């Protein structure tokens, strides 16, 4: 049986996920994966592989008594492992109704907002630098494979087939090379060895979310209907596909560095100022030399610029990226080209390049130009 603790150590070391003295916040829902993460986090703390450890549990109030049962179980787990616990209770359904957003998207956003707040509080209490602190999630190779197939079905943009990253800012995934079955075997082995274990009122070693079996949900459909036949064809699917995704990730990182350099060289922010810095919300201009670059690098550069302009939570459509690139023809700006893209942004081209700005700015500028021409 695989030693999942050593596997987690190897993943942390290979991707530099956490320093030995880093404060670590474990996101624990009570499911098998995050329960295993709690035991592993305690073991890493006790061995001196990481610094102080705390846990966060977010009660989404979506499953009535079952959600309260999850919270009670995680509290028991934290007490057993002597790990401080943050508990956050949020009415996700009400927030989704208010904002007219997808419930899962709202839940994800609120979880990470709570996690960052808890991490700051933990660092203040422990006297640890926030810059070195990390949020550990329990995403596994199974989650990454599910993402891969989900994106295969609905389509994805540049780098999408790398699926999950090992690190995304302070959020890191030390179990991304480990499967769900391996984590459950680890929990069972702990129990068999007589190790102290948290149990719910039914004696279960973790909490099972019944909604994970509802195949009317996209991820559950992929988990239960798509992945199993693939594993029947190739039982080493987790290892093989993880290796393939990591190869994609290596190439993605290289292309992204090239695209970032392209944006730095031939794109300027409209409101860039040596004194006050950059206000990215006012838009950017792609200089004429941008049109000479290879289309894959152009696409990545525009995606990054739009993301920086709109903020990290904005979802940039492929159609918006292509509409910006359409401002160039045969390597040169298309004079007179105008387009309206998502988030009410205007794209316009002239001999100075291709400008992307809020539509209100575009209209105001056009009005001023007309008034100036008429006077």
Binding-site residue ranges for ATP = 29-34
With contact defined as beta carbons under 8 Å apart, do 146 and 292 qualify?
Answer: no
Burial 331-364 (b: 16+ CB within 10 A, else e): eebbeebebebeeebbbbbeeebbbbbbeebbee
Strand, helix or coil at 349?
strand
Find tokens 């990054």 and name the residue.
304
With contact defined as beta carbons under 8 Å apart, do 108 and 29 qualify?
Answer: no
Task: List helix spans (H) across the chain.
Answer: 4-14, 32-46, 64-81, 92-99, 103-126, 141-154, 180-192, 218-221, 227-233, 237-266, 295-310, 318-325, 359-374
Q: Which residues are annotated as a binding site?
A: 29-34
With contact defined as beta carbons under 8 Å apart, do 177 and 2 qualify?
Answer: no
Nearest to 54 by CA among 22, 25, 17: 25
Please provide the distance, in angstroms rounded to a whole number, between the alpha carbons at the two ends of the chain.
82
Strand, helix or coil at 375?
coil
């Amino acid at each position: 049986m695989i030693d999942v603790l050593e596997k987690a150590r190897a993943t942390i070391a290979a991707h530099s996920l956490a320093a030995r003295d880093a404060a670590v916040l474990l996101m624990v829902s009570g499911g098998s994966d995050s329960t295993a993460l709690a035991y592993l986090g305690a073991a890493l703390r006790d061995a001196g592989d990481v610094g102080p450890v705390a846990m966060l549990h977010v009660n989404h109030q979506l499953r009535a008594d079952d959600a309260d049962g999850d919270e009670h179980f995680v509290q028991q787990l934290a007490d057993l492992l002597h790990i401080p616990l943050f508990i956050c209770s949020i009415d996700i359904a009400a927030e989704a109704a208010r904002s007219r957003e997808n419930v899962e998207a709202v839940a994800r956003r609120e979880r990470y907002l709570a996690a960052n707040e808890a991490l700051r509080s933990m660092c203040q209490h422990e006297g640890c630098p926030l810059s070195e602190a990390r949020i550990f999630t329990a995403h596994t190779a199974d989650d990454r494979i599910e993402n891969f197939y989900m994106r295969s079905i609905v389509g994805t943009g540049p780098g999408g087939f790398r699926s999950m990253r090992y690190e995304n800012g302070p959020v890191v995934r030390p179990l991304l090379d480990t499967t769900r079955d391996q984590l459950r075997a680890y929990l069972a082995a702990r129990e068999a060895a007589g190790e102290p274990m948290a149990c719910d009122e039914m004696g279960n070693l973790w909490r099972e979310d019944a909604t994970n079996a509802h195949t009317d949900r996209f991820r559950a459909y992929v988990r239960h209907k798509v992945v199993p036949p693939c594993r029947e064809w190739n039982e080493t699917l987790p290892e093989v596909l993880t290796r393939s995704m990591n190869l994609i990730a290596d190439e993605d990182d290289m292309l992204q560095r090239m695209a970032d350099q392209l944006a730095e060289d031939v794109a300027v922010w409209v409101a860039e100022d040596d004194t006050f810095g950059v206000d990215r919300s006012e838009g950017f201009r792609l200089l004429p030399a941008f049109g000479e670059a290879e289309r894959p690098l152009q696409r990545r550069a525009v995606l990054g610029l739009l993301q920086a302009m709109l903020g990290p939570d904005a979802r940039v459509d492929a159609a918006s990226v292509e509409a910006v690139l359409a401002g160039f023809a045969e390597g040169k700006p298309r004079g007179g080209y105008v387009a309206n893209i998502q988030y009410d942004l205007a794209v316009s081209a002239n001999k100075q390049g291709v400008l992307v700005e809020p539509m209100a700015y575009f209209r105001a500028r056009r009005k001023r130009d007309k008034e100036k021409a008429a006077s």
